[in-house]
Structure formats: C-alpha cells, structure tokens
Structure 1
Amino acid sequence: MRARRGDTLALLAGVVLATVAATAPAQNSRETERKLQEVRRELKAVAAERRRIEGERGAANRELRQADEQVGRSSRGLREIELQLADEQASLDALHARRAGMRETMQGQREELARLLRAAHAQGGQAPLKVLLSQDSVAEANRLLAYHRYLQRDRVARIAELTAALEELDAVERDIAERQKQLQDSRQALDRQLAQLQDDRRARAQLVARLDQRYQDRRAREGALGRDAKGL
C-alpha cells in the first residue's frame, strides 16, 4: 500500500511539474505581447504628437520670418524718417542763418535811411535850395540833390525788398516746421509700431524655441520606444 501511494504522489508531482513547465512559456509570451502592444500604442501616440508639433513648429517658423520682415520694414522706415528729419533740420538751420543775415542788413539799411531823413529834416523844407546855394557850380548842386534822392529811394526800395524776402522766409520756415511736426508724429507712430512688432517677434521666437524642445523630446521618446519594441 505504501509503495503504491508513493508511486501515486510521485506521478502527481511529475504532472504538476510538467504542467507548470508547459504553462510558463505561454505566460511569458502573453506578457511580452501585452508589453509590445503597450509600447506600440505609446509609440503611435508619440509619433502622432511629434507630427502635430512638427506642423505647429513649421507654422510658427513662418510667422517668425514674417515678423522679422515686418520689423525690418519698420526699422527701414524709421531710418528714412530720421534722415528726412535731419535734412529738414539742416534746411531750417540754413534759413535761420539766412534770416539773421537779412535782418542785420535790413537794420543797417533802416539806420542809413533814418540818418538821411534826419539830415534832411535838420535842413528844413529848404534843404534842396540850401544844397544848391552851398555849391559853386549849379551842375554840382544838381548832382548832389539827385544823389541824395537816389540814396533815399534806394534805401526805401532795399528795405521793401528785404521785408518781402523776410516774409517769404517766415512762410518757408512755417512750412518746414509743419513738415517737421508731421515727421515727428510719424516717427513716434513708427516707434510704437516697431516696439509692438519687436514684442510680437520675441513672443514668436519663444514659441518656436518651446516647440523645438517639445519636438526634440518627442523624437527622442519615439526613438527610445522603437528600440524597446525591437528588444521585446
């Protein structure tokens, strides 16, 4: 009895061992397949995300190039306005110098005319006769009278010319000053526009940098998952 019982136990033990030995490879195979499926699902998701990020990165790079072009155009426009302002200021400075010279000349003409008028007034209403009687020659007296009248007419005409020229200069100065104001307004507007464009450009550059980093992360993860899948 004891011998048969021992044989039975030995047989059962052998069956159990055989069953375990046969089951272990099947379980390992199922576990490997499960892990492989998980890796493939994640790999598919990561690849899809990488492609999506790649598309976003391409669009962001295009927008960044457009922002660079806009900043460049605004910068060139600002430089052009600065040059125009410099030209206008040079013209205005030249007009100021010219006006100062003309005012000085006109002041001299006025003083000369005033001197002539004072001299004529000092001689009284008989000034022409006094000039005539003070000369030994009638011809010389007539010449002096004509010369005095010429000087007076010339001074008056010269003062009138200078006054008209100064009025014209004042009008030109007003035009230049108005033009300067317009250019200053344009420069301020461009300054604000350029500052906004530069802010937008920085924001787009930061977005591109973030997308680049995310793209590289997803690409590295995709490569790692591919290696894991091959190792299973």
Structure 2
Amino acid sequence: MRMRRMAAGLLVLFALLAQAQPEDPQKAASEAEARQRLERLRTDIRALTAELRATSGEKDEATRALREAETAIATALGGVRAIDAQLAERQQELARLEDQRAALANKLKAQREDLAVLLRSAYALGRNEELKLLLQQEDVDAIARVLAYHRYFQRARVERIDSLMTDLQQLADLQRTIETRTAQLSATRGEREAEVRQLEARRGERETLLAGLDARLSDQRARLAVMARDEKGLLDLLERLRDVFADIPSRLDGAEPFASLRGRMKLPVRGKVSTRFGGTDESGRRISGWLIQADSGSEVHAIARGRVAYADWLKGYGMLLILDHGDGYMSLYGYNDALRKEVGDWVSAGDTIATSGSSGGQKSPALYFELRLQGKPINPKSWLR
C-alpha cells in the first residue's frame, strides 16, 4: 500500500508538471490523468475506511468474546470458592474422624492389655484346666461354682477377642473413609483448578487478539491520516504548479529539441547503474528508472537544458529535483543529500544541480534517475551514453 501511494504520488506529480505547459497539445489528457490519480487515491481512502470499519467490527466481536471468557472465569472461580468451603467442612469432618480413630486406638490399647492378662491367666492354668479344677474339688457345690466361673472366664475371653476384632475392623473402615474422602476432595479441587487454568488461557488469547486488533486499528488510522494528507498535498500542488509554471513554453528557447539528443546525453552522475528500468530497489519496489550507485556527495549534473520544475523532499524519493526540458519531456533526480537549484531556475547540460546521497530512507548512497514523456516513464537506456 505504501509503495502504491508513493508511485501514485510521483505519477500525479509528473502529470501535473507536464500539464503545466499551456501550449502542450496533451494538456487536457495530462490533467485528466492527474485527476484519475487523485480519484485512485480517494478510492484507496474509501477502501481503507471500509477496512477500518471491518476491523472495528472484529474488535467488537473480540471484546464480546473477552467479556464471555471473563464471566466464565468469574463463575468458575465462584465454583472453586464453593469447593473450598466444602473442603473446609470435610477437613473438619476428617478431623473428627481422626479424633475417633485416636479414641479407638486408645481403647484397643486397653483391650490389648486386658486380653494379655486373660491370656496369661489361661496359660497359667495350662491345658485341661476344667479337668484339673474338677479333680481338685470334693464338694459338688464347689465344683459347680468352679465350672461356672471357668465358663464365664472363657466367654469373657472370647467376647474380648471379638470386640477387639470389631474395633480393628472399624479402625480400618475409618482409615479407608478418610483416604477416600481426601482423594475425592483433591480430585474435585484439581478439576476446578484445571478449569480455571483453561479459562485463563482463553482470556489470554482474547486479550492477545484484542491487542492485535487495537494495533491494526491504530495502523489503519495512521495510514488513513497519511493518505488524507497526501490527497490534500496533491491538490495543493496542483494549484501551486499552475501558478508557478504558467510561463514555461512547450519548447525551450535556444535549446536543441530534447528528442534530438537521444543517445547523446551523459550519465547524470559518476557511478555504476545497479538497477535498471523495471527492476526492484532495496525496498522491493519496482522502479521506473535507473538506480546509479554513487559516493555520497558526488555532483549530479543536468542531462540537458531545462528549467527546475520541482526541488523539494518527496516521500520515497528523498530530496528530489525535476527538470522540465520542454515538449513534454522531464528528468528526475532523487535520493540526493542536497539540492543546488531552486524551482524556476534555468540550467544547461552539465550544470551541477544536486549532490548524491541516501535521503528518503535509503541504506546506501545512490542517485535515482528517471525520464518521463507526458508524465509517463520511459527507459533511459536508449537516451544516455
């Protein structure tokens, strides 16, 4: 887009300079061409305005998506807070279970001690304790009492063992319950945290998209402002050139017709032609002239007699000087460091009109040279020797 604007601007400039000659038979056509260039620029402005509106629509959509993402994050965070509350309740429940387990452990310890006493008593009595007790007694009542006591002792021992086994089972069940609930809580919280991370990632994507759209909008607005300034500049230039060059004749007095100089004019600067007509310069732009490598500060000479039609900075061409040679012929000298002539000055072939350089954003010093006829570029190959 930038290259198109620069090329369009230069085309309009040459068209305006060409049509400034009142006796030029193609003046009307040149002016029409200039108007067409302006209309193309305005078409670009309209297209960019539509693009700007489209980008604004994309921004609105991205803003809506960001709002949805942030709302979803808020909802998910609310869910996490609810789970945290449940976790706190379950932690309290787990603490109660831990207390129960501790109490049961103490109970088991006491039962183990009681059981140990019973087992030691049983061991002291030895095997066939009932028979021994019966043989030691002579009174029937005493025998009955001994048997009853022994059976009670046995039942108590069995009950203690059963109680111990039951308590051990309860302890194991409590342990599994605690572990299961802890795992469930951890899994639930992990799921919620993963959900929040996903939502945060979505929000980050939306924010990145929105930032990109903001940058694009800023760029488009800046380009639109530049194009609007270019349009105004071209219109101002049209009026200015009409006033300044109203006295330029179609053929310069005392000068050999420019067309008769074909093949006899010298290169405007000492150097090597690095890019020829139709090639591309270092920015990738297709050029309509020659790019001549030259040391910075080298003298640039007029290729033929003419009058300075333009001497100023122009976007993409730096310090630019244009000579009007009459009969619709013009020559252009760009990328200069300094201009030696002013608008309206008359020059002869070989006069120093500028010094070469790297203005206009060029990386290395050079001279950009063009020839134009009725505002249209022509290949310098057959004109210079």
Interval of TM-score (by shorter of Structure 1 and Structure 2): 0.5 to 0.7
Distance in 2 between residues matched to 1:121 and 1:209, nearest whole Å: 87
5+ long unaligned stretches in structure 1 = 1-18, 131-141, 143-148
* Aligned AA (2:55): I
Q: CA deviation at 1:86?
A: 4.6
The superposition leaves residues 78-116 of structure 1 with CA deviations (integer Å, 9 ceiling, x where unpaired) of 344344345434433442343133222232234235436
Root-mean-square deviation (CA), in Å? Answer: 4.4
Q: 1:51 aligns with which of 50, 53, 62?
A: 53
Structure 2 counterpart of 1:41: 43
Query: CA 1:172 to 1:118, structure 2 compared with 1: closer, same or farther past 3 Å?
Result: closer
Aligned to 1:193: 195
CA contact 2:45–2:227 (8 Å) conserved in 1? yes
Aligned partners of 2:60 and 2:212: how far apart in 1?
Answer: 13
Query: Using the alignment, how far apart are the partners of 2:113 and 2:54 within structure 1?
Result: 88
- Does the Cα contact within 8 Å between 1:64 and 1:204 map onto a contact in 2? yes
Structure 2 SS opposite 1:20: coil
Helix, strand or coil at the partner of 2:196? helix
1:62 to 2:56 alignment = no
Question: How many residues end up aligned between the 2 structures?
Answer: 204
8 Å contact from structure 2 (residues 66, 206) kept in 1: yes
Structure 1 stretch displaced more, 56-65 or 168-177: 168-177
Amino acid paired to 2:222 = A
Distance (Å, rounded) in 1 between the aligned partners of 2:167 and 2:112: 15
Percent of counterpart pairs with the same letter?
36
| 1:104 matches 2:106 | yes
Structure 1 CA distance for aligned equivalents of residues 169 and 175 of structure 2: 10
What code does the residue aligned with 1:49 have?
Answer: E
| Structure-2 change in CA distance of 1:119 and 1:164 (3 Å) | closer
Instruction: Find the counterpart in structure 1 of residue 206 from structure 2.
Output: 204
Residue 222 of structure 2: which of 213, 220, 223 is its match?
A: 220
1:69 positional shift:
2.2
8 A contact 2:101–2:174 mirrored in 1: no
State the TM-score, normalized to the length of structure 1.
0.63
Q: Following TM superposition, by how much is the alpha carbon of 1:178 offset from its aligned partner in structure 2, in angstroms?
A: 2.0
- Flag the structure with higher helix content: 1
**Residues 1-232 of structure 1: matches in 2 within 5 Å?**
20=22, 26=28, 29-30=31-32, 32-112=34-114, 114-115=116-117, 118=120, 164=166, 167-230=169-232, 232=235
Matches of 2:22 and 2:115, distance apart in 1: 135
Counterpart AA for 2:224: E
